[in-house]
């Protein structure tokens, strides 16, 4: 069988099978790496308050490495651009998030960011945003997906930057901030709302088992490509043995026809 395997076409076939196996192994490695999603940044990083304009730029998506960061920024509220997000719980009670557009000083494109000023149990308790030079310290969070459906005037079902951008008709960050601290002209502001405090995300790494299955599948394919080469080689070797045996049988039959048993060569001549 080794003699058959050393033929040029079978050597070329082995190289081709190994090349295919290498590709499959690389695909398996990629699936394994994709199976484990990167966890959120560690709390010791996200809890360090950083300027918003250094952390995130408007016009782009908010990545996991940027989300959950404690940020600070200054500017002013736009009291006319305010909505309520219904069905929000606080201490087991259902109420509203009060969200107001905030014009960030130094933001590219003069972009604004939705700020959750606080929570109110009744819509009438939302109040208006404070005026003056305001500084916000809070947690930067990714926007929610818009939710379709009828809602009361001045209320939306989800905190979606895209939806609020259409309602307020202004460029917005693709994110929002829950205000943990609000100061006006350097003095803590009394908004009359309960603060919406968001804790850091749990430091967990999730595993996608479907990617694990695909990774194992690619390994099986890699092994099968080499097995297929070996199987074809073995079949070819077996056929060559059968052909040699068939040729030997033909040679024996020809010898029987050439000389019958008990007949000498001299008798054949006579």
Burial 242-254 (b: 16+ CB within 10 A, else e): eeeeeeeeeeeee
Question: pLDDT tens digit string along 174-229?
Answer: 999 999 999 998 899 988 899 999 887 765 666 777 888 888 888 898 898 888 88
Q: Which of 22, 36, 31 is nearest to 216 (CA)?
A: 31
Using DSSP bridges, classify how beta strands 134-141 and 70-90 pair: parallel, antiparallel or unpaired: antiparallel
**Residues 137-156: tens digit of each pLDDT:** 999 999 999 888 777 888 99
Please return the burial class of 25, using the count of CB atoms within 10 Å of its CB with bins 0-12, 13-18 and 19+.
Answer: middle
pLDDT at position 34 over 90: no
Distances, alpha carbon 37 to alpha carbons 32, 116, 203, 216, in Å:
10, 29, 12, 18
Percent of the chain as helix, strand, coil, to the nearest 5: 40, 25, 35
Tokens of 182: 């609000």
DSSP code, position 108: G
Q: What is the pTM of this model?
A: 0.63
Return the pLDDT at 268.
44
Q: Report whether 174 contacts 166 (CB < 8 A).
A: no
């Amino acid at each position: 069988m080794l003699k058959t395997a050393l033929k040029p076409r079978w050597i070329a076939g082995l190289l081709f099978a190994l090349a295919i196996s290498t590709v499959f192994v690389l695909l398996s490695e990629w699936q394994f790496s994709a199976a484990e999603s990167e966890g959120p940044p560690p709390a010791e990083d996200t809890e360090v308050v950083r300027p918003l304009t250094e952390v995130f730029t408007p016009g782009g998506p908010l990545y996991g490495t940027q989300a959950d960061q404690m940020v600070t920024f200054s500017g002013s509220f736009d009291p006319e651009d305010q909505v309520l997000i219904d069905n929000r719980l606080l201490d087991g009670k259902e109420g509203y998030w009060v969200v107001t557009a905030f014009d960030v000083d130094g933001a590219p494109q003069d972009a604004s960011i939705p700020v959750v000023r606080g929570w109110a149990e009744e819509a009438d308790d939302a109040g208006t945003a404070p005026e003056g030079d305001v500084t916000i310290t809070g947690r930067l969070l990714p926007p929610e997906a818009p939710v379709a459906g009828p809602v009361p005037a001045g209320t939306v079902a989800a905190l979606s930057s895209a939806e609020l951008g259409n309602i307020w008709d202004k460029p917005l960050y693709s994110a929002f901030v829950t205000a943990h601290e609000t100061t006006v002209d350097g003095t803590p502001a009394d908004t009359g709302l309960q603060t919406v405090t968001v804790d850091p995300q749990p430091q967990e790494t999730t595993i996608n088992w479907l990617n694990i299955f695909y990774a194992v599948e690619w390994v099986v394919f890699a092994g099968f490509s080499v097995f297929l080469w070996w199987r074809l080689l073995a079949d070819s070797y077996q056929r060559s043995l059968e052909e040699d045996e068939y040729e030997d049988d033909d040679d024996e039959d020809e010898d029987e026809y050439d000389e019958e048993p008990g007949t000498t060569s001299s008798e054949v001549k006579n």
